[in-house]
Chains A and B, each alone.
With several copies, the nearest count.
Chain A
Amino acid sequence: MSKRTSKKKQWTRVDGRAFNQLRDVKIECGVLPNADGSAYIEMGRNKIICGVFGPREMHPKHMAKPNEAVLKCRYHMAPFSVDPRRSPAPSRRDQEITMVMRSALEPAVFLERYPRAGIDVYVEVLQADGGTRCASINAASVALVDAGIPMKDLVSACATGKIDDKVILDLGDYEDKKGQSDLPVAYMPKLDKITLLQMDGIMTTKEVEEAIKLGIEGCKQIYEIQREALKKKYGIDKTKSEETAPQEPVAEEKKEEKQDE
């Protein structure tokens, strides 16, 4: 660790990225014909697909809430997404990620508009390359908009971490494993709120603050990519405003019609 300063100049990342550079991110929305909303994301070598169903009747019924919709999430990995092959049964890690993903998305959704309903957000990881939870949140956020769910903001997520005592953005699989710490962040850019924050490994308070700030910068870049993906499907904003987040009234009308069926 004493080599920190001396090594600074020649320090490079395994894939040649700058410390504050994201991996390539590609998002496509509306990829699942049977889902109400969907999105596919590639973030580095991560390949993740998300389908959203709802608002629909809550199942099981006794879990419904009288004054708001329940956002049900499920983070799941394909057996062939990792090496060696994994069992399709959910692990404790999967269940924890399911929880934090829900907690990252809930603040962005107008749940109170659909009392007694359920909204299902299902994430399937087809290939994992470090930072799957952040990539999943990015896809889920776009899929929710695609499903016409009224949102307060998009949720954008990416991880930061520390390697060789240096705080860097968006660790890939290889960096993840040799990193000193890992700090995933989800962020709502318009509302300026952090909705996911986890950390493992040893960091000083200063490093944590640095890492969160770096993470927020990353999230802002992802936010633009998410907006582009939505624009690509739904066309240029009528308002020509900065806003690519869902036009709520329209989305709501769409939903109400749906419920009238």
Chain B
Amino acid sequence: MSKSNVVSHLKQKKINEVLSTGKRMDGRGLEEFRPLVINSGLLAKSEGSAEVWLGKTHLMVGVKVGTGTPFEDTPDEGVLMTNAEFTPIAHPSWEPGPPNEDSIELARVVDRGLRSAEILDTNELNIISGKLVHIVYVDFYILNYDGNLIDACGAGAIAALLKAQKPVYEIKKGEPVLTDKKVPLTIRKKPIPISIVKIGDNFILDPTADEEEVMDVRLTVTLDENGNLCTMQKSGSAGLTMDEIKKCINMAQAKAPEIRAKVVESTQ
């Protein structure tokens, strides 16, 4: 996302010109999202899943529920693991290989939002204290990149988790026995991340890849259904004033319920 070359400079100039008219390159208003489409539960081999389109941004979320040993300091608690993979089909410049800085930030920001909201009851994921717990893996798999991955993945994660089930173990003579039963995971909150991007003097929502390329700064604000903040994350090589931060929080507050409603709707 470097601004170093001439093409990018021209792009920046053009985007700024259009923004100054109160519109976007694709005709959207500054706070308008692209169409968000979520299909949940379509992967039969995952315990939960969601396919997300946000404009041309396209990704899969897979939830798998496995087992493992708990951490030493929390012997009664299951574990939530979040991972993002930037596949090489998603963008011509993305190479196959281990996770890069951007995919780590993506997974971390969504993960921190889920954790702050205490979305899962980790005690419910306990099977045998100190020995065996459920591990819930949330994997993001980016298929086509056109900006705003955090918001798209955040929404997809909630959709996939709302449909996710965990297998039921019975304890017989102190040993865990896997049964055929499955029960839904208890989802206690629905935190929704909204990313606000500043380009020149304008603040916009749901940036495209081109807009992210020329952005000055981004602030992601994750909100729960009570309007409380769960996570914030500033990135990009510029600063923000206190007033700008307030503006961003307000923009996120205004948009999150709309996105949350679409997520919930998609799972019904």
**Could you tell me if B144 and A32 are in contact, using CB atoms closer than 8 angstroms?**
yes
Given that A199-B231, A201-B230, A205-B227 are contacting pairs, would A122 and B141 also be in contact in the complex, using a CB cutoff of 8 Å? Answer: no
Q: How far is the CA of A53 from the CA of B91 in the complex (A)?
A: 9
B228: which of A74, A120, A191, A202 is its contact (CB, 8 Å)? A202
In the complex, whether B43 has a CB less than 8 A from a CB of chain A is yes
CB-defined contacts of A82 to chain B, threshold 8 Å: 45
A197: which of B96, B144, B232 is its contact (CB, 8 Å)? B232
Interface centre among A32, A36, A191 (most CB of B within 10 A): A32
Q: Which A80-103 residues have a C-beta within 8 angstroms of B? A: 80-85, 88-89, 92-93, 95-96, 98-100, 102-103
Min Cβ gap A130→B in Å is 12
Identify the stretch in A15-23, A63-71, A236-244 within 8 Å (CB) of chain B at 4 or more residues: A63-71
Q: Which A15-38 residues have a C-beta within 8 angstroms of B? A: 32-36, 38
Identify the stretch in B17-25, B169-177, B233-241, B259-267 within 8 Å (CB) of chain A at 4 or more residues: B233-241
Min Cβ gap A12→B in Å is 23
CB-defined contacts of A88 to chain B, threshold 8 Å: 83, 85, 139
**Could you tell me if A74 and B88 are in contact, using CB atoms closer than 8 angstroms?**
yes
Q: How far is the CA of A181 from the CA of B240 in the complex (A)?
A: 21
Given that A76-B96, A127-B44 are contacting pairs, would A204 and B241 also be in contact in the complex, using a CB cutoff of 8 Å? Answer: no
**Chain A interface size, under 10 / 10 to 19 / 20 to 34 / 35 or more:** 35 or more
Q: How far is the CA of A205 from the CA of B248 in the complex (A)?
A: 11
Q: How far is the CA of A192 from the CA of B101 in the complex (A)?
A: 28
Q: Nearest chain-B residue to A79 (Cβ)?
A: B139
Q: How far is the CA of A202 from the CA of B117 in the complex (A)?
A: 7
**Would you give the 0/1 interface string for A170-210, flagging 1 where the beta carbon is closer than 8 Å to chain B?**
00000000000101000010011111111111111100110
User: What does DSSP make chain B's interface, helix, strand, loop or mixed?
Assistant: mixed
Q: Nearest chain-B residue to A56 (Cβ)?
A: B92
Q: Which B133-190 residues have a C-beta within 8 angstroms of A? A: 137, 139, 141, 143-146
**Could you tell me if B107 and A120 are in contact, using CB atoms closer than 8 angstroms?**
no
**Could you tell me if B45 and A83 are in contact, using CB atoms closer than 8 angstroms?**
yes
In the complex, whether A106 has a CB less than 8 A from a CB of chain B is yes
Q: Count the B residues whose beta carbon is within 8 Å of the partner chain — how many?
A: 64
Identify the stretch in B30-38, B59-67, B121-129 within 8 Å (CB) of chain A at 4 or more residues: B59-67
Given that A34-B90, A127-B43, A200-B115 are contacting pairs, would A80 and B137 also be in contact in the complex, using a CB cutoff of 8 Å? Answer: yes
CB-defined contacts of B49 to chain A, threshold 8 Å: 80
In the complex, whether B246 has a CB less than 8 A from a CB of chain A is yes
Given that A68-B4, A99-B101 are contacting pairs, would A198 and B232 also be in contact in the complex, using a CB cutoff of 8 Å? Answer: yes
Q: How far is the CA of A152 from the CA of B73 in the complex (A)?
A: 45
In the complex, whether A157 has a CB less than 8 A from a CB of chain B is no
In the complex, whether A128 has a CB less than 8 A from a CB of chain B is yes
Residues of A at the B interface (CB closer than 8 Å) are: 32-36, 38, 45, 47, 49-51, 53, 56, 65-68, 74, 76, 78-85, 88-89, 92-93, 95-96, 98-100, 102-103, 106-107, 120, 122, 124, 126-129, 181, 183, 188, 191-205, 208-209, 212-213, 216
Residues of B at the A interface (CB closer than 8 Å) are: 2, 4-5, 43-46, 49, 56, 58, 60, 62-64, 66, 83, 85, 87-92, 96, 98-99, 101, 104-105, 107-108, 112, 115-117, 137, 139, 141, 143-146, 219, 224, 227-242, 245-246, 249, 253
Some 17 contacts from A to B, beta carbons below 8 A apart, are: A45-B45, A49-B89, A76-B96, A79-B85, A80-B45, A93-B108, A122-B96, A124-B87, A124-B89, A126-B141, A194-B242, A198-B234, A202-B224, A202-B229, A205-B227, A208-B249, A216-B242
Q: Which 5 A-B pairs have the closest CB atoms?
A: A80-B62, A193-B239, A51-B89, A85-B64, A106-B237
